[in-house]
Structures are given as C-alpha cells and as structure tokens.
Amino acid sequence: MRDVNEIIIHCSATREGQNIDAEIIDRWHKDRGWKGIGYHYVVLLDGIIEYGRAVKEIGAHCQGHNSNSIGVCYIGGVEQDGITPKDTRTCEQKEALILLIRVLKLLHPDAIIYGHRDFSNKACPSFDATKEYEGIGSKENL
C-alpha cells in the first residue's frame, strides 16, 4: 500500500446539477493525454461514490502531491454560467463525502484533509474543505 498522508478534495468544475460520472471524467482526462481518470473517488450528485483510479496507483489530481495523496472529487463546483465557483454539493454529496473521508481516515489515520485550492491558485473545490473536515478522523468524530 502507498504511504498516504493527504486526502485532497476536488470538484469537477461542472455546472450545478450537471449529471456526470467517473466514466465521463476518465474520458476527459484521457483526452488530455493522461493514463485515465486522475481521482481515486468521485461523488455523484445523488451521493453514490464511484471508484476512479485504483488507490494503490498514484493519482493525477494535484501537482506535487500525487504520490502521497488520495484524490476525491465531487461533481459540481460552479454556477450555471459554467465559470463562477460555487459550493454546489447536494445534501447527499455532503453526507457521502463525510462517510468516505471517515473510512479513508480509518485506513490512513495520519492523513490530513485538504482542498485542492490549498495547493493551487484555483477555487477548487469551491468551499474550504480543510476547515470543514479538520475534525474528521479524531476519535470523537469517528
């Protein structure tokens, strides 16, 4: 198993309510010349969690942090104009993200949760994931 010490949260930068999945993101990433989807998990609008790249493989989601991290992407992240960042997470996505992060923290207890924006000049994931998820994984929050 890889040494994982970061869980990095992303958004797909798609319009609020636009229904896409890991297969579509995989196609987009292949069109960029990548091996395939760069995220390890994708959280759909209805809260279903899909697998992306195998966790045992290094991701392609955050330059300089791929070898030691797991990438989690929720669908959405921008307003209907397709440009303006917005926290578009549905209630189901919020619940699924917390569940997924709790499981990942059990498997990788030393991992710190970040938003992609903590490492890049981007709005992604369109909310402060570092602050919102900072207590997940502590004994009182499992």
Q: Please confirm, yes or no, whether 41 is among the known catalytic residues.
A: no
* Residue tagged active-site, from 29, 65, 105, 116: 116
* Residue tagged active-site, from 11, 62, 73, 124: 124
H or E stretch including 15? strand 14-15
- Three-state DSSP state, 25: helix
Q: Is the pLDDT of residue 142 over 80?
A: no
At 28-67, the pLDDT tens digits run: 999 999 999 999 999 999 999 999 999 999 999 999 999 9
The residues, any chain, with a CB within 8 Å of residue 139's CB and separated by 6 or more, are none
Q: How far apart are CA 130 and CA 132, in angstroms?
A: 6
Q: Is the pLDDT of residue 140 over 70?
A: no
Q: Which two tokens stand for residue 102?
A: 């709790």
- 44-77 burial, b at 16+ Cβ within 10 Å, e below that, comes to bbebebbebbebeebbbbbeebbeebbbbbbbbb
pLDDT at 135: 87
At 76-133, the pLDDT tens digits run: 999 999 999 999 999 999 999 999 999 999 999 999 999 999 999 999 999 999 999 9
* Residue tagged active-site, from 11, 29, 39, 133: 39
Q: Please confirm, yes or no, whether 108 is among the known catalytic residues.
A: no
Which phi and psi angles does 8 have, rounded to 5°? Answer: -110, 125
Query: Which residue, among 57, 54, 45, has the nearest Cα to 11 in the 3D structure?
Result: 45
Q: Please confirm, yes or no, whether 124 is among the known catalytic residues.
A: yes
**Do the beta carbons of residue 19 and residue 126 sit within 8 Å?**
no
137 pLDDT band, cuts 50/70/90, is confident
Report all structural domains of the chain as residue ranges with CATH numbers, in order of start.
6-135 (3.40.80.10)
Q: Global pTM?
A: 0.95
Q: Please confirm, yes or no, whether 10 is among the known catalytic residues.
A: yes
Q: Please confirm, yes or no, whether 29 is among the known catalytic residues.
A: no
